[in-house]
Chain A
Amino acid sequence: MVKLLLENAQKEGIRFLKTYRENGGYQSLEKALKMAPDNITEEVKVSGLRGRGGAGFPTGLKWSFLAKPENTPRYLVCNADESEPGTFKDRFLMEFIPHLLIEGMIISSYALGSNRSYIYIRGEYAWIVDILRQAIEEAKQNGYLGKNILGSGFDCEIFVHPGAGAYICGEETALLESLEGKRGNPRIKPPFPAVKGLWNCPTVVNNVETIAAVVPIIKMSGAEYAKIGVGRSTGTKLISACGNINKPGVYEIDMTISVEDFIYSDEFCGGIANGKKLKACIPGGSSVPILPANLLLKTAKGETRYMNYESLSDGGFATGSMMGSGGFIVLDEDQCVVKHTYTLAHFYRHESCGQCSPCREGTGWMERILKNIETGKGKMSDIDLLWDIQSKIEGNTICPLGDAAAWPVAAAIRHFRDEFEWHVLNPEESQKRNYGLANYASPLALVS
């Protein structure tokens, strides 16, 4: 399978500039600096690259929204605040092949006219802060950063800014608040960052993987990049796979592979661990709807489901899910959906910034009710109450954290209501054993 980002990631010494360059590194930058900045944006548009952080918004289009008033600085900010449960792909990329991000940052900064760009990285990735700063230093010593880069007349500096533990700072306006030295409270939009972002200046915020993907796009051209993949899912995508599988880890896929192949082939997840059966999966990070095995492997129409934006969302939230951040969480037959949903509800309650009451209060309610059901103290009416609360959070908050908290709860009830009811009806037994597979898995999934 074609690899554009991680092809050299496991090569010895690739963390350092010398080896990175020996493997073709910084050639895209040299090429880019000979192009007009707007032509780079055009290449990114043609490539069909979509934001890899979770929303999947077309990157070239986002870049073209950037306001360019005279005498006002513009900023590129890289979102490396990876904190969506199930997601650890950006960490892998930055840890093993940091120069790919740095090269992508310089090219993107040149395209957008940012002379001062920032990488906002979650504070817990403390050792990666050091890796990135070292890579930046190396790039500077080799003339790839600083004044008049490679004689192009373009000046650029990159700074690494560590966060301090707040999921909400992955939301782009909260990230900008945090970068300005404030609490991570998302801003009301509009104005969008493209007009008023960092320090009120026009700003583009892109995910690590998105920025890294600019390097192969420039190398091979947007049109060639767009030939990889299928439909509007162009290029490659990093998937971080975890849970009850034989081979957890970060995989680069070209989005034409089926979900079934991704889970069961030895090249990727290697099947369900310990000979167990697949029960459910959250395919795109904890916020996206959980799917039972039958709907995960096939769409409601009975067609094969593929690992791409369109196929994963086929059927909408009724029978589909989302590509999201590519955080692929697999649950086997021994896992309890109620308990898993409870840990997620706890997560969102903890991470709510507290600005909007539907999210601040609603996430707390959902956590408490789920805890009651999980510990055998739930009532039948709690399940409907839970549904009611999530429906009143969704769409009623400043930022998408409210939706992100509501969706997992809604999907768990939608697809696993029997399991919630079983907990309520069997308070003692549910403390001793899990509900198991029951009616969820398709015959296909029962082949372990």
Chain B
Amino acid sequence: MVFSEEKMNEVNRLIASYPQGKQKSAILPVLHLAQEVNGGWLSTEAMDYVASLLQLDPIEVYEVATFYSMYNLHPVGKYIFEVCQTGPCMIKGSDDIIAYIKEKLNIGIGETTKDGMFTLKAVECLGACGYAPMMQMGKTYREHLTREKIDQIIESCRSMNN
């Protein structure tokens, strides 16, 4: 995995936002970029690449990547449904949403559909408690979820890939 020139400019902008010699601070945002470029997950190769860009030992990147829940350390589907299951979402029926996605896509939590399209994750509070139940999909939140909304979301993902 190698960053394009555009991504490298972004990396350099990120590094410049910390004082000289403190480029280690850029690990989190640069790992986000690496994950985006690497198909939604961080391979050892991708983490090593980030380490080399920031002049760090690979272990410094691994220990960070394994701590934070937004980094996927295994391949994932093209679309990741990250459904919040914490208290306030549970009250509003997140169990039912998770069960429905499982049934509809025939996968369990943490699994990816055979066609590589969808991954289901159950995650912790995303700060959308008033708009529950909800899930994160890429950079956006999908809120006030119902079974019908899940149907529509899955349908629109599929139609974009036909």
Contacts and interface: CB of A to CB of B under 8 A. Distances in A.
A351 interface: yes
Contacts of A240: 129-130
Task: Name which of B85, B86, B131, B132 has the most chain A CB atoms within 10 A of its CB.
Answer: B86
Interface string B1-36: 000000000000000011100101111110110000
B69 to A, nearest CB: 4
B125 A181 contact: no
A167 B88 contact: no
B63 interface: yes
B127 A161 contact: no
Contact of B27 (A83, A88, A181): A181
A364 interface: no
B90 A161 contact: no
A286 interface: yes
A86 B68 contact: no
B28 A161 contact: yes
Contacts of A181: 24-28, 54, 60, 64
Contacts of A368: none
Given A88-B129, A164-B71, A249-B130, A340 B32 contact: no
A86 B129 contact: yes
Interface residues of A, number: 57
A243 B88 contact: yes
B87 interface: yes
A83 B132 CA distance: 15
A335 B93 CA distance: 11
B140 interface: yes
A166 interface: yes
A86 B140 CA distance: 19
A249 B131 CA distance: 8
Given A340-B90, A343-B85, A91 B28 contact: no
Interface string B70-100: 1100000000000001111011100000000
A162 B14 CA distance: 11
Interface stretch (A117-125, A214-222, A260-268): A117-125
A347 B28 contact: no
A166 B69 contact: yes
A165 interface: yes
Given A164-B32, A347-B87, A183 B64 contact: yes
A164 B130 contact: no
A217 B135 CA distance: 37
A207 interface: no
Interface in A122-178: 122-127, 157, 159, 161-167, 178
B80 to A, nearest CB: 12
B127 A125 contact: yes
A163 B140 contact: no
Nearest to A84: B125
A242 B19 CA distance: 41
Nearest to A159: B17
B28 A340 contact: no
13 contacts: A86-B125, A88-B128, A124-B126, A159-B17, A161-B29, A163-B28, A164-B68, A166-B67, A179-B25, A243-B92, A248-B129, A329-B129, A340-B91
The 7 closest A-B pairs by CB, nearest first: A164-B68, A248-B130, A165-B69, A165-B70, A181-B24, A242-B129, A181-B27
Given A86-B87, A286-B86, A343-B87, 19 more contacts: A87-B129, A88-B127, A88-B130, A90-B127, A116-B19, A123-B70, A126-B138, A127-B140, A162-B32, A163-B68, A165-B70, A180-B25, A181-B28, A181-B54, A181-B64, A240-B130, A329-B91, A340-B90, A344-B87
